[in-house]
A and B are shown apart, each in its own frame.
Chain A
Amino acid sequence: MSNTPASFDAFTALIAQIAPIEIDAAALTRESTLAGDLMLDSISLISLMALTEERFGVSLSDQTEAVANLRTIGDALDLIDGLCAAAV
């Protein structure tokens, strides 16, 4: 799966399920920060990662360091992209 608008929309739809604040999907970009703009703490971030694994069919079991270093939506999409490509 490439880093496409579809995957962007799919990922941001997951954010809406776990974010503690109302999300304006139209305002989100790759540069939107997970902790700052979306106010995701570590608990909500791992919830997001669990939903990501389920939605995109990837495993983050070997990516704990990468997950801990995620800063933006773009970082997350790139990680998902890499895992999907490796799985192909």
Chain B
Amino acid sequence: MDSGRDVASESLVSLFGRRAEQSPAPAAPRCSEDTLTVFLSDSEVRLLLAGRNGHCELPPLLQHLPPGLRQLRVVADYRSFAPFCSIGSFTQRLQASLPGARNGAVALQVFVLGNDVAELPRLAADEGELQPALDHLVAAIGELIFEARRRADDHFGRAPLTLPDEAEGAIHLLPAGAVAEFLASRAHALPPGAHLLYAMPVCSRRALVRAVAEAAQIATRDATGAMPVDAVGELLQLELNHACHHHQLGRDAELAARSDADVQLHAIGARDSVDWQQRTQAIVQAQLAAHRALQLPVFTRLPGLQWRQAGDDQVPYLRCGHADQALLLVNAFGLTLDVWHDLARRLSSQFRVLVIDEAVAAHDQRSLSPTYYDDADALPRYLAAVRAVLQAEGLAACHVAGWCSGAKYAIELARSMPESVASLSLFAPSFAGAQEPEGADSAFETNLHTMCKLVERMPQAAANMASSLMAMTAKAGGAAPAPREDPLGAAVYALADRQTLPWQQAPFSSSGHMVAYSRQLLNFRAHQISLPPAAARLEPPVLLVTGQMDTTTCNRRAQAICARLCSPLHFELQRAGHYFIQQNSALISRLLDAFVRHGMHTESPHPRLARVAQSPEEMLVSGEL
């Protein structure tokens, strides 16, 4: 009796389940007397490929096949083995490893899903839930739009979004019901061997982007010779190519299988078989509503945040998350912890996020935090505080992430207690005032230094300066340059957005803040990081991330200093400014999580995070010559 009919569409999704290693697919095999259909998870496929001499390591599911089995159907995702072997090769290895299949007693059919299944939740969404690949792509396209609108809400009124050309391809998705129906009603008539199930296009890339743009209520245009694709359009192309390749929304599997004579191809589904329009509308309208709500992130409102104290000195600190591995955030002086809110929220499921901030922890946010650079004892006091917190948390070590001026404290931590720092991540580090010959203070750092020296000399002028600066930044904030000055519209990514602008203004919001900030800045600039050979190189692995459009600090100097301190793994975030830990927290959290797991072998999780080679030799290894 053919058991193919007992594979119902809802079973396909439930059998595949989650891809995450923590939640292996509950792939209970469906079987009848003589036919068995098994869906393999990514980890099971990797186990299969880990075998030697052409044989596979069989997962428990396949080790003990029922007696009397005549036909075995194995269903696997193309992406799970494509980097390592072809469909035909994968099938041959499985054939050779299954005793029944080897001697011909069991007919083996391998069905490879060459595209993502429309309803299958597999990618992490904003709130940590898994979502289908199409939803993830729609949200990513929407986020590109709102990333620009948060900086300049009228951006697309002046520079409409460039639509992909119709010839740039389509989005291909396998409807779960169609896959189940195929397996139930057609598989039994097919010969043993390799079969690729690939999807018909559900919509063109152009149609999808246009639908997102309409839901986001922005103007669109076509690229022309006179007006080619602009900066946002380039990122859009990057996102579409990444999704089609990485999430199996394109034709990679189909095209590969067409050149493999051992594989039979089967087209599944039809255009408009997936209700992508409605899903697109719902996702983007939610993004638009969030955009209009103008909610500013507040670190102290993170779910599960705890105020704690450590050691005899009752060092105040904040904790979010309960994981075994800890991540210590080192903020920039004078700036609010709110800048870390989104990143901390995303990371708190994998990390125990810790922050030492005397002002916030003491529920006193009226003044700038004295944690960093307020006086000459600030650094030794901070190092002692970290030791106390680690002891209070029962931790031997933690990962450390520093942003902007926080990089210097993070480096000092790694230097003074290398056994306690498991890894170091430096985001948009500022080394303003450093005596490094390569690079120089940015114009912003130079002007800020001039202003702070004036405030120190004339503190009585701080009140006027503060009120004038607030008036000027309120007047100028978010205004993008006219198109003739910036034909690709890239300058929008150097602007502060509605969230970052208030944070930038905070140090200058009162004379008291201005005096305190100026004192901290002058102390920060006086703090010189000792570089080799005068000091040892850093021991922990170091991740360096810079923003391509960062005008606040000097990326070249940061790269030069970090190269002397260690051999960092350096990524540059394309079209990103100084505040990317907030503005691009999804990508940064993925990168940081990957770095903690894979260290110096971390690969970029997204093409927008471009690897920066540290040396010509490294370029040779990466094959970029």
Binding site for B on A (CB under 8 A): 17-18, 20, 39, 41-47, 49-51, 53-54, 59-61, 63-65, 67-69
Contact = CB atoms under 8 A, between A and B. Distances in A.
On chain B, which size bracket covers the interface? Answer: 20 to 34
Given A49-B465, A53-B464, A60-B468, 18 more contacts: A20-B446, A41-B444, A42-B469, A43-B444, A43-B448, A43-B450, A43-B451, A43-B469, A45-B472, A46-B465, A47-B447, A49-B468, A50-B451, A50-B458, A51-B454, A59-B464, A65-B471, A68-B471
B392 interface: no
Contacts of B470: 64
Contact of A49 (B446, B447, B455, B464): B464
Contact of B464 (A17, A61, A65, A68): A61
Prevailing SS type, chain A contact patch: helix
A50 B469 CA distance: 11
Nearest to B472: A42
Interface of B: 443-444, 446-448, 450-451, 454-455, 458, 461, 463-465, 467-476
Nearest to A67: B468
B104 to A, nearest CB: 78
Given A39-B443, A53-B461, A60-B464, A44 B451 contact: yes
Contacts of A17: 450
Contacts of A53: 461, 464
A60 B462 CA distance: 12
A18 B451 CA distance: 8
Prevailing SS type, chain B contact patch: helix
Given A50-B458, A64-B467, A44 B476 contact: no
Contacts of B468: 45-46, 49, 60, 63-64, 67-68
Given A46-B465, A50-B465, A68 B472 contact: yes
Contacts of B461: 50, 53-54
Contacts of A46: 451, 465, 468-469, 472
Nearest to A21: B443
Contact of B447 (A41, A50, A63, A67): A41
Contacts of B447: 18, 20, 41, 43-44, 47
Contacts of A42: 469, 472-473, 476
A18 B473 CA distance: 18
B452 to A, nearest CB: 9
A57 B468 CA distance: 17
A39 to B, nearest CB: 7
A16 B619 CA distance: 44
Given A50-B458, A54-B458, A18 B443 contact: no
B344 to A, nearest CB: 29
Contact of A61 (B443, B454, B467): B467
A50 B456 CA distance: 12
A46 to B, nearest CB: 5
